[in-house]
Chains A and B, each alone.
Chain A
């Protein structure tokens, strides 16, 4: 009954877009670090990409139905990993996020993102009707809230927030009732002051800073202001790779990772930014197209889970760089330097390939 999957069934456009984004990222990582003690970082990143591609291909060979079958077990495993990292994890920059795996420190919350995509896809598939009942909506909320809470304890507000859109996009596609949606939005708005109470002081500072950055340009407003100066001074054509003063002089914070878009904007100008954002739009639209052509709802939920996370990453990161949103520490997928994050994106794309490969099967 089953037709074997062949190389022609892979989404070669998706590959091409992905590698183009990686290429821009590598170039900017090189430019941002070549004259500093971090020189050579692009090679490390290239290594992560290679490892990611391998993981993506491997994951695409495994039938996603089998993965969804194991969703409850995976979900439990993910929770255990999150609890473990809280208990014995490795601290860096004041947060416990890393577990040693194969000699490298891997960020467990990246794994949690993958698992939540799978778990929610399974959950929404199980609903089976085209309308989502209030009870199911609450169940989905609880399913999401537990890992979000654990990641918040690390503390890692950015990654915790990233999980929410998976639940929201899923709920929307599973047929959430507009009344429920309205209640959800209202509840969210009312939760804000309560949530504010639970934020750490530095997180509060980031938010106030975002609202009034010019108040304190040498203090916490510094990052956003310097990022905006970098972007703005880039003009239309940019200052040239390796010649951005904001970037090279270290005014742009973590210019090879979270703020890589600012570095790119300064050195390649609006032209470079345009190219990068068009590539991201193409990537996301291609994902949605894959969801539209999925063989079943399970495949669609998987692909849209991936799209939700990547889209959230891109929008929040880029918005932060131009001062539209507070600093949250969410990296730009495929461009920011980072081992765990890069691996996650490729594994997530592996899930998408998986769905695509099996769209004619059966």
Chain B
């Protein structure tokens, strides 16, 4: 270091002290300034602040509607009012509380609790105390503007779904955004926002949800609007067009009503979902306002699980439908010749255990075609034994079981295809050859969803071209998954499935004159080795009924899978539903007007005269798309559009 800094240690202590005094003086001066503002003129400024109140009133953006493939509205909105409580003046609020609660038909405790819950929000931010104002509430608020100045109304758009749980699982429902969602949204959602919770509402929330606008108004100390500043208009959400065909959906819903199960109808060539129903259902309108805790608990604890979307979440044994996969494995692996025959005495013994044929006492001599047509278990026991579990598992998985179909809905379940490795991994046990015998006829650990069945059988019928099922019409689906099946195998399989319906097979009763309906029944025992314990608690252990059908036989246009839980035989309870949906599809194609599509059998070739004329004129074959905003759920008898909650309560209008 240079000696630059030497000999200079005499510090000007006096001048430093002067600066200290200067600082104390200046800070004191500033404090005097604050004193003058905050103590002397405090009241005056408090009044100015009061006069300054700007209230930001949100303008709620309407959610986009959902329309079917022909533009008919399925889900839209209706305007409604929420009651806002202004909390600026706590004393006034406490005084008016009993009167407010009484006038709005709310419990004082309930309102008190809501005020309590919002105490960390700024005082001037109003809270919603009643999400759905009835006409009586509106009258009450309007008539008491002067003496109860703390109530305000906010226009909102309430979601309107078809009544009776129509398509409820696919559409899903909306609700107030959760804290987790707010945090995950990166600033997109704010407390109180309404977002899709399940189904399409959730899947396409980004499109459906608009951006709220706001209006800034100047209000006086009692919340009266005294001036308007600026307004940002709401940006409405975009409507989405679905692949659903309202008419087919209606048939599916009507035919499934009162049962427990699901219907899935796809166009296997594109993966478009034409109909998708699940029963028992719930009413998503109940969620559109604020669902009470009791209602929510009831829905969740209902032993019938109405919230479960059985089309994509019911994971059950496929029963004899699995024989289609067995056949594909048998023929494609070439492990067993196509000419393989078995004599069926009604039972067979494997590994020291007797396996019965579930459907019939004895089929006699069976070849592959007849074994499928008559659903002979003994034949497929033998096929299974020869193939072995890993070969079965390989083909079932490659044909689409045990993995997601990729439908554009949240919460799809993947089912399960067992294998030696799976059992080792999950149970740390060796695979018993006897289990293969059960798997061969779709029992055992194998579980599938109705969506998987429609997707895989449609793909198999197309020779191994699988198309991602989707509900959004202009979705670019994932590229098709190919697992080419040889022409001879496809021919053998579709011929046999044609036989099931048309050659006196297990679903002979569901024959449709003039339509090449093909299919396969499945009747799955509810009690399996794994399911015994769970199912043991439930009453009514009838078998689950399955049917999957498609038409025409080659290059099918429609594939329908139906599950009826506890429905008994697939041929009896599931096949007729498939038949009716397929029939409605063809009737509509031939020009039958939508309101004449029924589940009643129609004589072959009969075409409604009016419809023929319309078809000849090249006009629309079906109902014209209705303008958005109007509810068009006409064919549904229960499609009331008046919200249930707006039934007038007894108003308590005091003079």
Residues in A lying within 8 Å of B, measured CB to CB: 35, 37, 65-66, 68-69, 125-126, 128, 130, 169, 172-173, 175, 226, 228-236, 242-243, 245-246, 248-251, 265, 269-270, 273-274, 277-278, 280-281, 284-285, 288, 291-292, 294-298, 300, 304, 307, 311, 314-315, 318-319, 322, 324
Contact = CB atoms under 8 A, between A and B. Distances in A.
Given A236-B38, A265-B34, A292-B16, A126 B46 contact: no
Given A236-B39, A249-B124, A285-B23, A292 B13 contact: yes
14 contacts: A35-B121, A65-B5, A125-B5, A128-B7, A235-B42, A245-B52, A270-B34, A270-B39, A292-B11, A292-B16, A296-B5, A296-B9, A297-B10, A322-B30
A232 B11 contact: no
A315 B22 CA distance: 11
Interface string B23-50: 1101100110111011101101110111
Contact of B42 (A233, A243, A281): A233
A211 B74 CA distance: 64
B53 interface: yes
A285 B121 CA distance: 40
B48 A232 contact: yes
Contacts of B20: 285, 288
B619 interface: no
A138 B26 CA distance: 28
B38 A273 contact: yes
B351 interface: no
Contacts of A169: 19
Top 10 A-B pairs, shortest CB-CB distance? A232-B45, A233-B49, A232-B37, A297-B8, A270-B38, A233-B46, A322-B33, A281-B27, A233-B45, A235-B42
Given A69-B1, A298-B5, A298-B8, A231 B37 contact: yes
Contacts of A319: 30, 33
Contacts of B2: 69
A270 B31 CA distance: 9
Contacts of A68: 4-5
B122 interface: yes
Interface in B44-80: 44-46, 48-50, 52-54
Given A232-B42, A288-B23, A297-B11, A249 B53 contact: yes
A272 B38 CA distance: 11
Contacts of B30: 277, 315, 318-319, 322, 324
A173 B49 contact: no
A173 B15 contact: yes
B35 A296 contact: no
A234 B48 contact: no
B16 A128 contact: no
A231 B45 contact: yes
B617 interface: no
B10 A130 contact: yes
B627 interface: no
Nearest to B41: A232
Given A296-B8, A324-B33, A248 B16 contact: no
Given A235-B42, A297-B9, 20 more contacts: A35-B121, A65-B1, A69-B4, A128-B8, A229-B45, A229-B48, A231-B45, A245-B124, A249-B54, A251-B52, A265-B34, A273-B34, A274-B31, A280-B27, A281-B24, A296-B8, A304-B16, A315-B26, A319-B30, A319-B33
B655 interface: no
Nearest to B191: A35
Contact of A242 (B9, B49, B122): B122
User: Which residue among A229, A233, A288 has the maximum number of chain B CB atoms within 10 Å of its CB?
Assistant: A233
Contacts of B24: 281, 285
Nearest to A174: B12
A322 B33 CA distance: 7
A99 B204 CA distance: 42
Nearest to B26: A315
A273 B31 contact: yes
A243 B122 contact: yes
A292 B15 CA distance: 10
A125 B38 contact: no
A307 B39 CA distance: 31
Given A242-B122, A243-B123, A304-B16, A232 B38 contact: yes
B122 A35 contact: yes
B120 interface: yes
A228 B45 contact: yes
B323 to A, nearest CB: 59
Contact of B52 (A229, A291, A295): A229
Given A35-B121, A232-B44, A236-B38, A281 B23 contact: yes
Give the residue among B8, B20, B30, B125 with the most A Cβ atoms within 10 A.
Answer: B30
A159 to B, nearest CB: 20
A270 B9 CA distance: 43
B605 interface: no
Contacts of B12: 130, 173, 175
Contacts of B7: 128
**A37, A265, A269, A273 interface centre (most CB from chain B within 10 Å):** A273
A172 B18 CA distance: 10
B603 interface: no
Interface in B462-519: none
A228 B4 CA distance: 50
Given A233-B48, A281-B27, A294-B11, A304 B53 contact: no
B303 interface: no
Contacts of B337: none
A324 B15 CA distance: 27
A37 B56 CA distance: 15
B187 interface: yes
Contacts of A285: 20, 23-24
Given A281-B24, A284-B23, A288-B16, A269 B49 contact: no
Contacts of A242: 120, 122
A298 B52 CA distance: 53
A92 B2 CA distance: 44
Contacts of A228: 37, 45
Contacts of A250: 54
Contacts of B31: 273-274, 277
Contact of B19 (A231, A234, A304): A304
B99 to A, nearest CB: 26
A251 B53 CA distance: 9
A311 B121 contact: no
A315 B1 CA distance: 38
A236 B34 CA distance: 10
Contacts of B5: 65, 68, 125, 296-298
Contacts of A232: 37-38, 41-42, 44-46, 48-49
Contacts of B54: 249-251
Interface string B579-591: 0000000000000
A297 B4 CA distance: 11
Contacts of A284: 23, 27
A296 B48 CA distance: 54
A296 B33 CA distance: 38
A278 to B, nearest CB: 8
Nearest to A228: B37
A235 B30 CA distance: 16
Interface string B132-156: 0000000000000000000000000
Contacts of B38: 231-232, 234-236, 265, 269-270, 273
A317 B192 CA distance: 38
A229 B48 CA distance: 7
Interface in B587-613: none
Contacts of B48: 229, 232-233
Contacts of B19: 169, 172, 288, 304, 307
Nearest to B2: A69
Contacts of A173: 12, 15-16
B452 to A, nearest CB: 44
Contacts of B120: 242
